[in-house]
A and B are shown apart, each in its own frame.
Chain A
Amino acid sequence: MKQDLGFYDYWPYENRPKIQWPGGAKLAFWVAPNIEYYELDPPQNPFRKAWPQPTPAVAGYSIRDYGNRVGHSRQMQLLDKYGIRGSVSLSTALCDHHPEIIKQCRDLDWEFFSHGIYNTRYTYGMTEDQEREMIRDSIKSIFKHTGQKCAGYLAPALSHSELTLDLFAEVGSELFGNDAGIYTCDLFHDDQPTPIHLRSKKRFVSVPYSLEMNDTIAYVSNKIEPRRYGQMLKDNFDQLYKEGSNSGTVMCIPTHNYQISCPHRMKSYEEALEYITGHSDVWVTTGREIAEYYLEHYYDDSVRDIEDKLGQKS
């Protein structure tokens, strides 16, 4: 184990090169619905239990299935109402289990990025070859079922190895060159995209995917009331929007259909989406579009600025 994996250098939030999103927008806004498949009886991982009780874990399994049977349609229609294309964090086995959901998202021109094969298969304990194979399988599945060259990654159930980001970038290049494997959602260190160091030296970025705004973290871990969650979304937006005048920021709402799409939680979510998309100078976009725009316009300046400031005192 290492103290730090060295993915990024310390880079103070103040006085960075100014980012302006397309059309002069101050804030890039994206919604990342996690569309996941949890197995009823997954093989045992040596480091993490999939379910708290012996199989069948009816409570945990069935509420997650609710997300696919009931919740997905609700969130999809809601996002469409506000002109938001989802960036789907996809358990790619779902392409096989529930192709109807994939087709619906494709028809709305949503982005798909890899969230592993199943959300009950953890990276822990995988060899480098196994993890590479799992990532390759997931990228190939997305291409086969959607025609998209997977740009982003969020490790399944946020389970990582030291090599996760390297392997994702490398497999992306191996399959599709610089069209795939260009951004990660696994790091929560910043409110702007940041360049990431990889062993391959590939141009690769972290796109902010907020754990704090994640509905499952809010509802399941932090046990927040639905109306308060809606208010947190608005407050998060207000601050990032204000700061976006100085330099463009990114706001992400990561969601799960088994949480956000429960009937008692939809109202506050809709109010927040209406509020956010009701502002001018908001770029409503996807993870890939943020990563590509940043790589094209700001990546090099950022790398230079970070190098200039390394070791500097304020």
Chain B
Amino acid sequence: MNADKKYLTYPHRSYGMDHSLYEWSILDERAPIVWPNGKKLALWVNVNLQFFPLNQQSIPFPVPGGMTMPYPDLRHYTLRDYGNRVGIYRFFDALDKYGIASSIAMNTCVAQRYPYLLNKVVERGHEILCHGGHMDALHYGGQPLEEEAELVRKSLEELRELSGQPIKGWISPAKNESSNTPQLLAANGIEYFCDWVNDDMPYKFHTEQGELTAMPLSTELEDRFIIMNNLHSESSYKEQVIDACDYLLDEATTNGGRMLALNLHPWLLGQPHRIQTLEQVLKYLSSQEDIWSASPMEILSAFKSQT
């Protein structure tokens, strides 16, 4: 089988990106951002509250962290549900102990199923992001537009109604998208989304339905990625977050404000043998004078006021 002629033609080989979703821009060359009170590093902790359905359809792929065994895969179903029942309450205590703010990215299904938990999140004053319908409701290339449009509309409408919050932020399940996802988000009142991990600062993202801001939420530094995907130890996870924090603080000293985005899963770090790791990480971060712990909307507002 030979490659066809098209294989040696390069229609997008010109200045900038090979698409028009955002501008090409080198972080190091952008005007420095100054965070409130002259802090160097904006710390954005995002905690995920996720529902992994037992009858997983895996369209178009099995979501990482989802069911892997023949139905009914009670081991994975209950282990993930553990985060919503037990782990999250350990998280609340840990966050409070060290005075760290966090956003909560919630599958709309979690808000529907667990009103107690939703109410708790609202009462505590967390900014809520929509994390799609549930973990098996993936957005993907080739998905019929009407189907995805309905999924976005319903997920947002119901989460807004249940939470009473305006819901301006979005993380797709598995951070997976179709080509239509950004414009559907913009059309449904989303201001920022977190699926693209190509920067350490927010940046403008264009859609046919208006502008979004991409708020990169690092996958490489995520608890699930380091501990479950890479099988690194808890102490290595802690070391990696601390090394990232030190590096970004140092870079911010010469290059302007930076953002440390930590994506966390109560079903993972909320386990009894791991919660101390989270506490140690939060303790280290809270002891840094130049860190500004903030919600994503606060970070976004400070960023937008300067760009």
Instruction: Decide if B6 touches A69 in the complex (CB within 8 Å).
Output: no
Say yes or no: is A246 at the interface (Cβ < 8 Å to chain B). Answer: no
Q: Shortest distance in angstroms between A256's beta carbon and chain B's nearest beta carbon?
A: 12
Find B28's partner among A73, A93, A125, A267 (CB 8 Å cutoff): A73
> Are A93 and B13 touching (Cβ within 8 A)?
yes
Residues in B with CB closer than 8 Å to A98 are 24
Q: B5-28 toward A: CB 8 Å interface, digit per residue (1/0)?
A: 011101011111111000011111
| Interface 0/1 of A11-27, CB less than 8 Å to B | 00000000000000000
**How far is A125 from B232 in the complex, measured between Cα atoms in Å?**
38
Cα of A64 to Cα of B28 in the assembled complex, Å: 17
B240 interface hit (Cβ, 8 Å): yes
Hey, which chain B residues are within 8 Å of A37, CB to CB? 18
Q: Are A66 and B14 in contact (CB under 8 A)?
A: no
Contact partners of B141 in chain A: CB under 8 A: 53-56
CB distance from A223 to the nearest CB of B (A): 4
Q: A266 at interface (Cβ–Cβ under 8 A)? A: yes
The interface residues of chain A lying within 8 Å CB-to-CB of B177 are 56, 58
**B239 adjacent to chain A (CB < 8 Å):** yes
Interface string of B115-158 (1 = CB under 8 A from A): 00000000000000000000000001110000000000000000
A133 and B8 within 8 A (CB): yes
Query: B76 at interface (Cβ–Cβ under 8 A)?
Result: no
Residues on A with beta carbons closer than 8 Å to the beta carbon of B140: 53-54
Inter-subunit contact A63/B198 (CB<8 Å) = yes
Proximity bits, A41-53, B CB within 8 Å = 1, else 0: 1010111000011
Say yes or no: B241 contacts A45, CB within 8 Å.
no
Closest residue of chain B to A104 (Cβ to Cβ) is B26
Contact A126 B13 (CB under 8 A): no
Interface centre among B61, B176, B241 (most CB of A within 10 A): B176
Residue of B nearest to A267 (CB): B243
Across the interface, A263 reaches (CB within 8 A) one of B19, B199, B200, B231, namely B200
Q: Are B197 and A62 in contact (CB under 8 A)?
A: yes
Contact of A53 among B29, B60, B179 (CB under 8 A): B60
Q: Which range contains the number of B residues in contact with the other chain?
A: 35 or more
Residues of B within 8 A of A301 (CB): none
**Across the interface, which residues of A come within 8 angstroms of B216, CB to CB?**
62, 66
A68 contact set on B, CB distance < 8 A = 26
Tell me if B221 counts as interface (CB < 8 A to partner A).
Answer: yes
Q: Which residue of B lies closest to A38 (CB)?
A: B18
Tell me, yes or no, whether A279 is within 8 Å of chain B by CB.
Answer: no
Does A118 lie within 8 Å of B10, measured CB to CB?
Answer: yes
Contact with A along B211-228 (1 / 0, CB 8 A): 000001011110000000
B288 at the A interface (CB under 8 A)? no
CA distance A223 to B226 in the complex (A): 9
| A198 beta carbon closer than 8 Å to chain B | no
Q: How far is the CB of B192 from chain A (nearest CB, A)?
A: 15
Q: Is B69 an interface residue (CB 8 A)?
A: no
- Chain B residues lying within 8 Å of A43, measured Cβ to Cβ, are 4, 6-7
- Binary per-residue interface labels of chain A (200-221) against chain B in the complex, 1 for a CB within 8 Å, 0 otherwise: 0000000000000000000000
Query: Across the interface, which residues of A come within 8 angstroms of B179, CB to CB?
Result: 55-56
Interface check A187, CB cutoff 8 A: no
Binds A, one of B82-90, B244-252, B272-280: B244-252
Distance A62 CA – B232 CA, assembled complex (angstroms): 23
A223/B231 in contact, CB under 8 A: yes
| Chain B CB within 10 Å, residue with most, of A47, A72, A262, A264 | A264
Centre residue among B2, B10, B18, B240 by max chain A CB count within 10 A: B18
7 contacts between A and B (CB under 8 A): A40-B17, A59-B219, A69-B24, A226-B236, A262-B244, A263-B221, A264-B244
> Residues on A close to B: CB < 8 A?
37, 39-41, 43, 45-47, 52-56, 58-59, 61-66, 68-70, 72-74, 93, 96-101, 117-118, 121, 124-127, 130, 133-134, 223, 225-227, 262-268
B binding-site residues for A, Cβ under 8 Å:
1-4, 6-8, 10, 12-19, 24-29, 60-61, 140-142, 175-179, 195-200, 216, 218-221, 229-233, 236, 239-241, 243-248, 251, 260
The 3 closest A-B pairs by CB, nearest first: A54-B141, A73-B28, A264-B244
